[in-house]
Amino acid sequence: MTFRATILTLYPDMFPGPLGHSIAGRALADGKWALETVQIRDFATDKHRTVDDTPAGGGAGMVLKADVLAAACDSVGYDRPMLAMSPRGRPLTQASVRELAAGPGVSILCGRFEGFDERLFDARPIEPVSIGDYVLSGGEMGALVTLDACIRLIPGVMGATQSGDEESFESGLLEYPHYTRPVEWEGRTIPEVLRSGDHARISAWRKSMAETDTRLRRPDLWERHEGARVQSPSGARRQKEE
């Protein structure tokens, strides 16, 4: 089954963009995923092909029209998840990416200007999603990020499947640090444990470093990780023993 991606946008020439290169580009050429774009402006009904209007209640900027967007989304259908890239959406997580990548594909609606007429989400099964706590010029970059995260998890896209299992966020922690040759660089050496050949020590070191880096760099992730550990049956036993 080919993973199908449909992008609804005012700028279809932005795709596949970087997704036409590297592993995503090879997977696209090999037919492991397919891409189509839909020009939102094609669904405007006036002679000027208007897709936006002034915000109700006043204020700066323009708002994408619900009737035009709904017509564009209806033309694609809802047999796959339909996402709308928006800073007001739920955060995109590795867990949600894995769920998307395991399915038949995804449709992504790209916002512009001040965003979408909210009635669109009341009337259609479209989920707003955010890639981070910042604002971009439009949803196209978010769509590229979302697709890249999904495509690399499609079976056969990555050379080594283990590469996708030992990464940041897969276990609720940041990934451990990596090193490679030369052994010494600018007076800094690869940690001795990684040169020891002792796989048990290496595994323990990596786990310890992942926990330390997560605690220092992402206390929000660490707090969730610790909460999940305590709530698990084994974690509850450890708490009782302590």
Q: Are strands 184-185 and 188-189 parallel, antiparallel or unpaired?
A: antiparallel
Position 230 scores a pLDDT of 77
Instruction: Give the tens place of pLDDT for each residue, 173-188.
Output: 999 999 999 999 999 9
Long-range contacts of 48-56 (CB under 8 A, 24+ apart): 51/10, 52/112, 52/113, 55/114
Which residues on neighbouring strands pair with residue 37, listed in sequence order?
7
Residue 18's pLDDT is 98
- Looking up tokens 């955060």 gives 91
pTM, two decimal places: 0.88
Angle subtended by helix axes 219-231 and 233-241, to nearest 10: 90
Q: Are strands 52-53 and 63-64 parallel, antiparallel or unpaired?
A: antiparallel
- The residue count for the chain: 242
> For the chain, which domains are there?
3-151 (3.40.1280.10), 168-241 (1.10.1270.20)
* pLDDT at position 170: 73
Strands of the sheet with 127-130, listed across from one edge: 33-39, 3-9, 105-110, 82-91, 127-130
Residue 157 forms beta bridges with which residues? Answer: none
Tell me: pLDDT of 239 over 90: no
Q: What is the pLDDT of residue 207?
A: 95
Measured on CA atoms in the order 90, 92, 95, 96, is the torsion positive or negative? Answer: positive
- Average the pLDDT over each of 24-33, 47-56, 165-174, 214-223 and give the range with the smallest value: 165-174
| DSSP for residue 50 | -
Percent of the chain with pLDDT over 70: 91
Cα 104 to Cα 81: distance, rounded to the nearest angstrom: 9
The dihedrals phi and psi of 7, each to the nearest 5 degrees, come to -115, 125
Query: Which range has the worst mean pLDDT, 39-43, 168-172, 215-219?
Result: 168-172
Q: Are 69 and 116 in contact (CB under 8 A)?
A: yes
Torsion of CA 49, 85, 18, 160, to 10 degrees: -150
Segment 45-88, tens digit of pLDDT: 999 999 999 999 999 999 999 999 999 999 999 999 999 999 99
